[in-house]
Amino acid sequence: MSDIQKTYNEELNQTIKDLEEKARIIRQHVIEMIHEAGSGHPGGSLSAADILTALYFYIMRHDPKNLNWPERDRLVLSKGHAAPALYAALAESGYFPVEELITLRKLGSRLQGHPSMRHLPGIDMSTGSLGQGFSAAIGIALGGKLDRKDYYVYAILGDGEIEEGSIWEAAMSASHYNLDHLIAFLDRNRLQIDGRTEQVMSIAPVKEKWEAFGWNVIEINGHSIHEIIRAVDRAKTSEGRPNIIIAHTVKGKGVSFMEGSVHFHGKAPNDEQYQIAMRELRGKGVRP
């Protein structure tokens, strides 16, 4: 191994460690916000935390001091109920004060249960109705292509969300228009509000479905920052096809009693659970 390669690997390893620490902080914010609000969706917020961290703090081209920068990358959180994780990433990026996070879901707050582009800086599309944010992301990507812009559009979908028929109409149109600057993440945590996705409405085989709709498909461990970064790099080499990264995740990742539990899809931790969760998140980083 050359000295240059060794230095690169050392720098990358340090960057990944820094990003893992940032993801741990974002998870703490999620638990603090939802506990204070007494409502919210911790499970899907925690499962998407590593993806959002990699995007906002390493991958995406964006500037909180230049909100209308035409060349910025865009992100649409189609699974809008995971807003706490997005809010935490935006605050840590400098879009608004971190102290404002604690106002989640409170009367008059800019941070409501689903993201609103009319009220909060950094939100590229208001979302909440499952299946519809994805169509908006495709529209943004198509607009960029027509305007000959080189920005990328990222969309984050839930695996329960892709039971919606509108998802597949949108997927078909993205392929039809060869939107290769569209990169979607599927948060494949296998749980939705009513139980396991395969019991509620089977979405298998997931990879083959997206391939049949003309998408470039990449599968990864959605809690490995390194794999997330590498997958996006691979997606950017794909020409003429939209991209989806199937990120295999764990609902409630990072909090032992929430991991893999459908009960914390949309339930706030009580005082005792809050203390346990924060001890766990403060005591160690979340490893793949």
Q: For 151-177, how does the pLDDT look when each residue is reduced to its tens digit (9 = 90+)?
A: 999 999 999 999 999 999 999 999 999
Give yes or no for residue 285 having a pLDDT over 90. no
Q: Is it the case that residue 251 has pLDDT exceeding 80?
A: yes
Q: Which amino acid is at 208?
A: E
What does pTM read for this prediction?
0.96
Identify which of 244, 237, 192 has the alpha carbon closest to the alpha carbon of residue 213: 244
pLDDT for the residue 78: 98
Indicate if the alpha-carbon torsion angle 138, 166, 248, 259 is positive or negative: positive
Has residue 272 got a pLDDT over 80? yes
pLDDT of 1: 60
Tokens read off for 131: 């299946």
Q: What CA–CA distance (Å, rounded) separates 264 from 28? A: 16
Band (pLDDT 50/70/90 cuts) for residue 113 is very high
Query: What own/partner pairs with CB < 8 Å and gap ≥ 24 does 273-278 have?
Result: 274/31, 274/35, 277/31, 278/28, 278/31, 278/32
β-bridge mates for residue 195, sequence order: 192
- Give the DSSP H or E segment for 53: helix 49-54
Predicted local distance difference test score (pLDDT) of residue 10 = 82
What's the CA gap between 256 and 28, in Å, rounded?
A: 14
Domains annotated on the chain, with CATH: 3-283 (3.40.50.970)
Residue range 181-200: average pLDDT?
A: 97
Residues 220-248: tens digit of each pLDDT: 999 999 999 999 999 999 999 999 999 99
- Neighbour count for residue 3 (Cβ, 10 Å): 7
Contact (Cβ atoms closer than 8 angstroms) between residue 101 and residue 91: yes
Close Cβ partners of 184 (under 8 Å, ≥ 6 residues apart): 134, 137, 154, 155, 156, 157, 242, 243, 244, 245
d(CA 166, CA 19): 34
Mean pLDDT of the chain, nearest integer = 96
φ, ψ of residue 134 in degrees (nearest 5): -60, -45
pLDDT of residue 4: 63
Average pLDDT rounded to a whole number, residues 119-126? 98
209 confidence band (pLDDT: 50, 70, 90): very high
Find the mean pLDDT for residues 246-263: 98
| Mean pLDDT, residues 99-127 | 98
- Segments of the chain assigned E as strands: 74-77, 153-158, 182-188, 191-192, 195-196, 216-221, 243-248
Q: What is the pLDDT of residue 9?
A: 78
Report, as an integer, the average pLDDT of 85-103. 98
Q: Please state the rounded mean pLDDT for residues 37-62.
A: 98
pLDDT over 80 (residue 5): no
* Phi, psi for 240 (deg, rounded to 5): 85, 0
